[in-house]
Structure 1
Amino acid sequence: MRVKIIGSAAGGGFPQWNCNYRLSRAARAGMPGVHSRTQSSIAASADGKGWVLFNASPDIRQQIGQAPELQPAADAPLRSTPIRAVVLTNADVDHVAGLLSLRERQPFAIYASAQVLATLEANSIFNVLDPSIVPRRLLAPTEEVAIRGADGHPTGV
């Protein structure tokens, strides 16, 4: 199992847009040892080819851009992705807003609790993720679940 931290900052990233703390100023100035960070998210893969994201932060485009493993392979079709599923740990904006950047009709599955799935259903903006392409699947908190891609094949995660 490979696990890659693709974001490790709190909501808003680091530095936050409105923070004037000395470390935020140092990050903006490019001070050595003080690095900007994107909002929290991890990616996991059993085979290094198909990936499962845990949360989809608003920084997802940047995170994919910085992680070659999450980008289309050189020999892949014109439109493709190695992302097979996204597991949402909650419905915080910092964990679901990135789904909107993944709306380009590429198949992947969303896994979440009943409450999180209800939140997505109640917010029409998430209708850009066509359920026939991006199925939503229940992640029961007390059950072991094999995460599968949109095609139903197990990811090994």
Structure 2
Amino acid sequence: MIPNANGANVSSISVAQRLNDELRAVGVERFTASDYKPGVVRHIVLFRYQDSVTAAQRQEITQRFLSLQKSQRNGARYIASIEEGMQSSGEKADQQLQQAFLVTFRSEGDRNFYVGQPIVTDPNFYDANHQAFKDFVGPLLARQGVLVFDYTVDRTASGA
């Protein structure tokens, strides 16, 4: 067991394994439903491009990623927002990652529908537009040129 930020012990099982177990337990239709585990879910995507990728290709990648916000399920948009920006930190901890995208969802179900593969493998229950984007961008990324980190917002701090 590993302590989390609140000091509670959590299993060392991988997140992917936990999600696979959860999918098997509730079924794909429930796992990807918009009302499954409501709450603010953030999906951070960081890219490092191959050296040969041009500015025009980066612009197309950005445009295609941002256009995913228009994706719909059951006739309605399901992505709350997408933000984008280039690496601008001087902390020397960027691991040569160059561009960030922050996707916000209203539930884990929406995030699960968006992410799709490798967890959700039935194409009826994931966003084909996102899968097409992953297929498009993959060859343009450097080796190990993507980092994805998802979290559910547990608490926020605001200025006093």
TM-score of the superposition, structure 2-length normalised? 0.29
TM-score of the superposition, structure 1-length normalised? 0.29
Which has a greater percent of strand?
A: 2
**Higher relative contact order (Cα pairs below 8 Å, separated by 6+ residues):** 2
